[in-house]
Chains A and B, each alone.
Chain A
Amino acid sequence: MLEIRNLDVCYGELQALSGITLDVERGRIVSILGANGAGKSTLLETIAGLLKPRSGSIRLNGKTINHLEPHDIVKLGVSLVPQGRQIFSNLTVLKNLLIGSYTRLARKSKKKALENVFNLFPHLKERMHQMGADLSGGEQQMLAIGRALMSQPRLILFDEISLGLSPLVIKMLYLTVKRINQEGMTVVLVEQDVKRSLKTASLAYILQEGKVSLKGDPKNFTEDEVRRAYFSL
């Protein structure tokens, strides 16, 4: 579904990603791990079109999407749940969700999508008319996921969904991720929570200083391998 070849991304002079090659097959949960500053978020933001690669290619279902704008990439069925939630604090919960179905195609089936989101997160239905800013961290994360689902993507990218949340909420969010995946959506998880992330994914990439340092089925990783891939220790 997603093929990334020799991707280089720079912030000015600073090279954030170099020579990343990565594949995401349809229907999978793929996990991307790495220490702070390894380039995980940069990778997701580049896929979503917020950053432009210096060289290399990103192909979605065979179509090159390197130079598309973020709003066009959303139309192709890719949705990013950004790091730090980034809820629209000046809109209500309901409008935050509805704006997720902004594209023309998504707008047609917004009722069904909304029902689906409220099904996943009944909590959000209760808080429908509250402002986005008034939600707790966990609720905001649910809203961010729900908002991304409203565009009815086929590929959904999660950037640090467990950051700063309680273990109970994290557990619930991971169950949701699995459920979304079982319903047929392809998932890319960027995460610092190594154990949980490796348990959920069927394919994992570990990044270090902008390069892929380990790749494979996480079941076959040894603890030593993972540590080396993380810190080169």
Chain B
Amino acid sequence: MLTFLEPLINGILLGGLYAVIAIGLSMVFGIMRQVNLAHGELMILSSYFTMFFLQVLGLHPLLALFLIIPLMFFVGYLLQIFLFNRGMQRGMEPFLMISFGLSIILQNVLLLIFTPDARSLKTALVIKSINVFGFFHIPLIYLVNFAVGILVFGLLQQFMKRTYLGWAINASADNVNAAKLMGINTKKVYAYAMGIAAVTAAISGALVGMTFTFYPHSGTQYLIIAFGVVIIGGLGSLPGTFIGGLVLGVSQLFGGRILGPGFQLLSGYMILLIVLTIRPHGILGRR
């Protein structure tokens, strides 16, 4: 019994992190019907920003986020205004191509500046863990990740529910032309949405940097996790994305426990296939 409690609890906690990784991808798809292949790179870019602030200014990653969040918001906002908005009317391909190009450029810029060495954000948080009934350990950083995940999702949900911009985002996602007729500048709304997606990338970048090691090309790996989460949870659904994160996290750690550590990733994607077979639109996906 207790042998399964550990992967369950750690899986849920890891799932909270996965959910934050995926939420930006899910939002952009839900709102613009576009796939941002550079989401992973925006994340890793933020990991490097966090590392810069930690090494140069000695700022704790969670404090550095207060600087990195506005910075990444503007990065996302400007990317949408100057790059993505230009290809939006012509279907999905231009956006895919632009974001793919952007991801390659970002990877190589990071490679040039930071070299291909493995990095991690070393803080006191990383080495601490909590002992549960003397049977197993929960890394403290996993708890922090989960708490931040809950906070991010709660704030986003309230933002979408209570603010004019949140309604405008919903309206533009539902019917672009009708949204325009309300006086909504949809291109600007998309830019805000991309800014918010980049903010979630910034947060997950800092968390991932504290939890795991990262390289300039790590973005792809997390993009695939984000895809998994979004497909399991249902595209464009906020609560769905959170549940998707938990399901992927738990199934990875269970698979790792039962079948051996080498099967961790595989078992996650087996669950993905099973969900796709039973509910092709994801757990909470629409249509």
Contacts and interface: CB of A to CB of B under 8 A. Distances in A.
A70 B173 contact: no
Contacts of A70: 177, 180-181, 183
B164 A50 contact: no
A212 B164 CA distance: 41
Interface residues of B, number: 18
Contacts, number: 68
A91 interface: yes
Contacts of A145: none
Contacts of A147: 182
Secondary structure class of chain B's binding surface, majority of residues: helix
A52 to B, nearest CB: 12
A90 B182 contact: no
Contacts of A48: 181
Interface string B153-197: 000000000001001101101110111111111100000000000
Given A102-B164, A107-B164, A74 B174 contact: no
B186 to A, nearest CB: 8
Contacts of A102: 164, 168, 182-184
Given A86-B177, A89-B174, A90-B173, A151 B182 contact: yes
Contacts of B164: 98-99, 102, 107
Contacts of B174: 88-91
Contact of A88 (B178, B180, B183, B185): B178
Contacts of A87: 178
Interface string A162-201: 0000000000000000000000000000000000000000
A207 to B, nearest CB: 22
A80 interface: yes
B170 A50 contact: no
A71 interface: yes
